[in-house]
Amino acid sequence: MLLLMASLASCAGGPDTDASVTTTNPAQGRPPSPVQVAPQQSWDDAVLYFVILDRFADGDPDNNQDVDRAGPGSFHGGDLTGLIANLDEIADLGCTALWITPVQQQVPGYVSSVGFFDWGYHGYWADDFHAIDPRFGTEDQLAELVEQCHARGMKVLLDVVYNHCGYESRYIQEKGREWLRFGSYCGDDDLTSCLSGLPDFKTDNPEVREYLLEAHLGLADRVGLDGFRLDTVKHVEHDFWQLHRARTRERLGDDFFLLGEVWGGDNEVMEPWFEPDEMDAGIDFSFQGSSIGFALGRGRPIAFNRYLDMREDVREGHFVSHYLSSHDTPGAILTLDGDVELFRLCVALQMTARGIPCVFYGEEVGRRVGDWPENRSDMPWGGLGVLPGEDIDRDEELRGFYKQLIAIRRAHPCLWRGEREGLDFGKHHLVFRRHDSESGDQLLVALNRDAEAAAATVTLPENWNGDATDLLGGARFAAAAGSVELTIPPRSTLILAPTAGE
């Protein structure tokens, strides 16, 4: 969701864990090209990677209009060429799908009421929905991005906006109040308000609907997209989304995926869009704060376990996508005061929870995702020679932890489609079981948020055979009389599987 958050709105390797068929080239320290990802079996199995295109990688300096890398609201030069050249960075992590910000032609100017020059580098201030902004690239390059992602086993979601255009957009002059609400003509409810003062499309107007649908669906059809991330969903009518669903299925196929953003949404909030099947998934805004709160010691683990149970109650065939950092909120590492150990605990929670985990670019290498506009800083490349974040330090150990967790998740269906069962709760630790009845796959997940080690005696399920081995660190815990005694290291996670061969 586009936000001018300041004065305008104040809004804002253990066994069976290798999900990729290639590994890093130790001679160069970077993955060979191209990296192949085991394609997701369904969206249950997806791991999403979200990129602000302008902030990731600059591959074509010739299209660098209005670039000022020191400006927090300026273009920094990232483009489709740079993203294509660095796709293996994402594929090597194990992510199965890529979400990128909008690529339409942006308004030519900037706003300065936030205290600095703020441009449409993020893609949410469209000036022409039927053109690609040359600062991002071309339609052919977008098609190449899709092709290159598919060659690696990854799907592509494009962020699209139906609710509004950019400040001072040409649509104001060309279409006026017949198509748009702006200035004093804005309403005060979800459907008629002008978010952050942006011109609001009258999406109940059939002419407007057809124009926007053809712009977005036509582009998706031409370049072969796999789905959309839908911006500002609650600010557009339900009957529009029902028409949108029918049109995408008719033109783009039944598998075209729709991930909707309803601000503040979770599994319950999304139900009015899930029940009539207007979209497949929604952003889960609850997970970030809840997991950070658990890591910081707020509330009892048994209460957090109830929250985890609650958020998995999602309508059949639909999904929620949970994140730890985003372009609209302060990131988890910042909120945790830079405590990477506690952040790793949150990452472990994210990767062992039902839903579609979304990795926000660079947080996997320790990017300090600050409050707006610092949550939209450059991708850290750590001396790898990639602009605009060429020399920003990276935490490669943290990236390895992400890679290991994603591989474990992909290898164990109990983590992405299985049932949850809370087993043991202490003052600062939580142990739960994930079990997939279809495959028989099961794991125990033990988390300790305390600065001291935690002891837990856990009764093993009847069909658990043998001892327990931690897939993250390799430690083995002996089972006796149907239970296992665990020592959970400080601020750490164990992911326990039945010991191989028993």
User: Which of 57, 54, 60, 177 shows the shortest CA–CA distance to 119?
Assistant: 54
Domains within the chain, CATH numbers bracketed: 44-411 (3.20.20.80), 419-498 (2.60.40.1180)
The residue behind tokens 């104040």 is 10
pLDDT at residue 30 in the model: 54
User: Which of 472, 417, 427, 464 shows the shortest CA–CA distance to 445?
Assistant: 472
For residue 411, pLDDT over 50 is answered with yes
pLDDT at residue 220 in the model: 98
Q: How far apart are the C-alpha atoms of 450 and 427, rounded to whole Å?
A: 9
For residue 81, pLDDT over 90 is answered with yes
Of 32-46, 89-103, 165-179, where does mean pLDDT reach its minimum? 32-46
The dihedral of CA 103, 38, 45, 370: what is its sign? negative
Mean pLDDT across the stretch 420-428? Answer: 96
Q: How many other β-carbons are positioned within 10 Å of the β-carbon of residue 107?
A: 20
User: Which of 494, 432, 442 shows the shortest CA–CA distance to 469?
Assistant: 494
Token pair for residue 116?
């600095």
CA dihedral 64, 70, 73, 78 (to 10 degrees): 40
Helices (H), 152-237: 170-179, 206-223
Q: How far apart are the C-alpha atoms of 237 and 228, rounded to whole Å?
A: 17
pLDDT at residue 481 in the model: 87
Mean pLDDT across the stretch 167-191? Answer: 97
For residue 90, pLDDT over 50 is answered with yes
Could you report the per-residue pLDDT of 11-65, keeping only the tens digit for each?
333 334 444 444 344 334 555 579 999 999 999 999 999 999 999 999 999 999 9
Could you report the per-residue pLDDT of 458-486, keeping only the tens digit for each?
999 988 989 999 999 999 999 998 999 99
Could you report the per-residue pLDDT of 97-108, keeping only the tens digit for each?
999 999 999 999
Q: How far apart are the C-alpha atoms of 258 and 245, rounded to whole Å?
A: 8
Mean pLDDT across the stretch 128-149? Answer: 98
pLDDT at residue 502 in the model: 54
Mean pLDDT across the stretch 315-337? Answer: 96
Mean pLDDT across the stretch 161-166? Answer: 98
Of 175-179, 183-187, 497-501, where does mean pLDDT reach its minimum? 497-501
Q: What angle do CA 325, 5, 156 make, to 5 degrees?
A: 45
pLDDT at residue 24 in the model: 41
Could you report the per-residue pLDDT of 381-410, keeping only the tens digit for each?
999 999 999 999 999 999 999 999 999 999
Q: How far apart are the C-alpha atoms of 231 and 163, rounded to whole Å?
A: 8
Report if pTM > 0.75.
yes
For residue 487, pLDDT over 80 is answered with yes
Residues paired with residue 128 on neighbouring β-strands, in sequence order: 105
Phi and psi at residue 235, to the nearest 5°: -95, 10
Mean pLDDT across the stretch 202-216? Answer: 98
Instruction: Give the neighbor-by-neighbor strand order of the sheet with 442-448.
Output: 419-425, 429-435, 442-448, 492-498, 468-470, 476-477
Of 168-182, 192-206, 454-468, where does mean pLDDT reach its minimum? 454-468
